[in-house]
Amino acid sequence: NAGVTQTPKFRILKIGQSMTLQCTQDMNHNYMYWYRQDPGMGLKLIYYSVGAGITDKGEVPNGYNVSRSTTEDFPLRLELAAPSQTSVYFCASSYLAGAGEQYFGPGTRLTVT
Amino acid sequence: TQLLEQSPQFLSIQEGENLTVYCNSSSVFSSLQWYRQEPGEGPVLLVTVVTGGEVKKLKRLTFQFGDARKDSSLHITAAQPGDTGLYLCAGGSGSRLTFGEGTQLTVNP
């Protein structure tokens, strides 16, 4: 099993550009999450999904959108990139909600200039 | 909004020393998890505690969940350089986890 994979690993965007961060998991997990992590900080939840077709906002959803058309994929869309979105983005999945272990991808390091 | 506060934020110690990291909240969580993260990688789960007062041991690491399920601690005995990393606590509620800001631990040889 590859676990959770994310692409790209690095990306530089200009202000106002858009992009999609890809996330795929092969563990058949229903729950998937997108977090951002600023330098030296913990993780902030952007969006999450409890199953295909169902998504919900986390703590910091502004400037982002998600979709969940399949169990495996949970892409994160950035529209009109801003410098405040410079961060490392992690996708995670879990079999159980709440107390379930979350498996994280390797992250995407995004810089907006 | 549920918040988790970790202390200390940074900790630099010598190999062989003991240390304790704290994770506190004013909210009750259904579970408390501890993750460790190394540079350039995603966090990896160390332990999950779900019962108030629960204590779990993982080799030299001891985890405790507070009786009221609002706080937790991580104690490392005889720290080694391989323990260096960012330690994150995370409280479970519903379908989500709320993460603390992390404790950056450096163990010097």
3-state secondary structure chain B: CCCCEEECCEEEEECCCCEEEEEECCCCCCEEEEEEECCCCCCEEEEEECCCCCEEEECCEEEEECCCCCEEEEEECCCCHHHCEEEEEEEEECCEEEECCCEEEEEEC
Q: How far apart are CA A28 and CA B51, in angstroms?
A: 28
Best mutation site among B3, B10, B97, B99 for testing chain A: the one with the most A CBs within 10 Å? B97
List of chain B residues whose C-beta atoms are within 8 Å of the C-beta of residue A56: 95
CB contact under 8 A, B95 and A40: no
What architecture (CATH level 2) is domain B5-108? Sandwich (2.60)
List of chain A residues whose C-beta atoms are within 8 Å of the C-beta of residue B4: 42
Q: How far apart are CA B33 and CA B45, in angstroms?
A: 7
CB-nearest to A42 from B31, B96, B102 is: B102
Q: Which residues of chain A have pLDDT under 50?
A: none
Domain residue extents for chain A: 4-98
Q: Note down pLDDT in tens along chain B; length 109 residues.
A: 678 999 999 999 999 999 999 999 988 988 899 999 998 899 999 999 998 999 999 999 999 999 998 999 999 999 999 999 999 999 988 888 999 999 999 999 9
Best mutation site among A21, A29, A34, A43 for testing chain B: the one with the most B CBs within 10 Å? A43
Q: Look at residue A1 in the predicted model and tell me its pLDDT.
A: 72
A19: β partners: A78
Domain residue extents for chain B: 5-108
CATH of A4-98, one of 1.10.1200.10, 2.60.40.10, 3.40.50.300, 1.20.120.420: 2.60.40.10
Best mutation site among B28, B44, B96 for testing chain A: the one with the most A CBs within 10 Å? B96
CB proximity list for B23: less than 8 A, separation 6 or greater: B4, B5, B6, B32, B34, B71, B72, B73, B74, B89, B100
CB-nearest to B94 from A98, A105, A107 is: A98
CB neighbours of residue B9 within 10 Å:
13
Q: Look at residue B1 in the predicted model and tell me its pLDDT.
A: 67
Q: Which two tokens stand for residue A71?
A: 């169990």
- Chain A contact for B30, CB < 8 A? yes
Pair type for strands B103-108 and A4-7: unpaired
